[in-house]
Structure 1
Amino acid sequence: MKLAALADIHGNADALAAVLADARARGAERLVILGDHFSGPLDAAGTWAQLEGLDALCLRGNHDRYLLDQPRAAMGPSDGAAHDALPGAALDWLATLPPVLRFDGVFCCHGTPASDETYLCERITGDGAVAQRDGGTIARLLSGIEAGLILCAHSHLPRALRLADGRQVVNPGSVGCPAYVDEDPVPHRVESGFPEASYALLEPGAGGWDVLFRRVRYDSAAMVARAGSAERGEWASALRTGWIAP
């Protein structure tokens, strides 16, 4: 089984189209999407048009949850923009998504098994730097998860790790948002450093899962223009370069 793992589309319909085409061309037999489908100032409706009826396993990310749980007046600008652009059917669909998935020896979550707001493989230092967690901490966050492959998301950073007990942990990176700023637990930036759409192809091999990260080029001009029209300069910079402009 060749598995395509996608995450953190964040309403980038053009990046999603490019990734889906690439995954099909490379023979992906199963798609799994690890949450945060729509939130952002880009094209939530166009993203929904592609996801509606798509044969994929999908779970709920933290921003998907915010779209369901928060009153419109309490939403941040990214969630609010997506909420206003989406039809009711898209929100109804989000409400059906589980927080975690299990299939064929694979466990999937957005952040950690216990929290969609906690990075599994990264930690934020007191001065706002992004650092990789040590293997022991990751193993503790995955306590009770016996799957040989754990797929996670949330940090938007592609990463593949093998824990001391042999379990593999893979974050496919972000389809649609290669860099962002956040305030929790302290102000920080997460920057992939490349503007291409990221996902991962995985196949069972002799020693576990073989992982191929894909960085898919696409024409981001329309999405950059939408970010600019929404006065979201940090989004425009991220889409153009993979970095947040100073």
Structure 2
Amino acid sequence: MKIAILSDIHANIWALEAVLADIKQQGTDLTVNAGDILSGPLAPGATADLLMSLALPTIAGNHERQLLACGTKAGHPTDQFAYENTTQAQRDWIQGLPGTLDVAENIFMCHGTPASDLLYFLETVDLHGCRMAPASQIEAYAAGVSQQLIICGHSHKPRACALSGGRMVVNPGSVGLQAYDDDQPYFHVIENGSPHARYAICTQDALGWRVSHQCVNYDHHKAAAEAARNGRADWASWLLTGRAAL
């Protein structure tokens, strides 16, 4: 089995189209989407239309929940923009997405961890910033998940981590945003060093799962210009460089 994994598209239609074109050339059996789909100062409506037409196995991330909450109370500008630039039908689609998914008998997908869409599965954050989580923490998050391939997203960091019992946790990185900063639970930055769109291909063979992290060129200047037009100079910089300037 050969599966393409998308996550953290964040309304970047230009990156998504480039990644989908690349996947088509790879001859995969299945494409899945691990959440954080529409929130971002880019093209939430067009991104929703494309993904709804594809009907990929898809889960909700924390930004799906936060987008929908904007219907009752103004939210973070990133989520509020997406809420105001999507239709009710698109928000209904988001509302219907599960938080986790058994993709196949041997594949489990969550956005953050199986228990929380706000925790990084493979990273830890403290006063010193963000780094790879210790093995004991990752094992604890994966407790109770028996599937051999565990898919996560949320941190935008492409990683693969081997666990006990021959299991593998894979974060494909972000399709749509290669850098950002956050103040929860402590201030930290995420940066991948280039504007390329990221996704992963996992192939099952006799020895287990083989992971290939993909790095795809796209017209990131268009995405950055759209972010700037929508008043988000921070996003424009992140999209142009893949770095989060301090």
Q: TM-score, normalised by structure 1?
A: 0.96
Match of 1:80 in 2: 80
Deviations 1:86-121 (A, max 9, x none): 111110001111000112311100000000000000
**1:135–1:164 Cα contact (<8 Å) kept:** no
The corresponding residue for 1:113 is 114
Tell me the SS of whatever aligns to 2:161. strand
Q: Deviations over 1:126-147 (max 9, x none)?
A: 13x1111111111111111101
Letter in 2 for 1:114: A
Secondary structure in 1 aligned to 2:214? strand
Deviation at 1:17, TM superposition (A): 0.3
CA contact (8 A) 1:158 1:173 kept: yes
The yes-or-no answer on 1:17 pairing with 2:30 is no
Moved more, 156-165 or 6-15: 156-165
Matching residue's letter, 1:192: N
1:197 maps to 2:197: yes
Alignment of 1:69-218 (within 5 A): 69-71=69-71, 73-102=73-102, 103-127=104-128, 129-218=129-218
**8 A contact 1:72–1:80 mirrored in 2:** no
Cα displacement (A) at 1:72: 5.3
Tell me the equivalent position of 2:3.
Answer: 3
The CA distance in 2 between the partners of 1:113 and 1:156, in whole Å, is: 17
- Cα distance in 1 for residues equivalent to 2:227 and 2:245: 14
Q: 1:155-182 deviations in whole A, cap 9, x for unaligned? A: 0000011113321010000000111111
Secondary structure of 2:101 counterpart: strand
> Which amino acid is 2:239 matched to?
L
Aligned partner of residue 204 in structure 1, secondary structure: strand
In the alignment, is the contact (CA less than 8 A) between 1:31 and 1:55 conserved in 2? no
Does 2:220 align with 1:220?
Answer: yes
Per the TM alignment, residue 207 of structure 1 is displaced from its structure 2 partner at its CA by 1.6
Instruction: Give the superposition deviation at 1:71.
Output: 3.9
C-alpha separation in 1, matches of 2:230 and 2:186: 25
Name the TM-score, length of structure 2 as normaliser. 0.96
1:51 and 2:40 correspond:
no
Structure 2 residue runs without a partner (length 5+)? none
Alpha-carbon distance between aligned partners in 1 of 2:130 and 2:239, rounded to the nearest angstrom: 20
Measure, in 1, the Cα distance between the counterparts of 2:231 and 2:56: 33
CA–CA distance in 2 between the matches of 1:31 and 1:89?
23
Amino acid at match of 1:119: Y
Contact 2:70 2:80 in 1 (8 A): no
C-alpha separation between the residues in 1 aligned to 2:210 and 2:177? 25
1: distance between equivalents of 2:244 and 2:203? 33
Distance 1:208 1:236 in 2: 40
2-structure distance, mates of 1:232, 1:7: 22
User: Would you say how many aligned residue pairs link Structure 1 and Structure 2?
Assistant: 245
The answer as to whether partners of 1:160 and 1:171 remain within 8 angstroms in 2 is: yes
CA–CA distance in structure 2, aligned partners of residues 203 and 165 of structure 1: 18
Alpha-carbon distance in 1 for matches of 2:72, 2:190: 26
Task: Supply the RMSD in Å over aligned alpha carbons.
Answer: 1.2
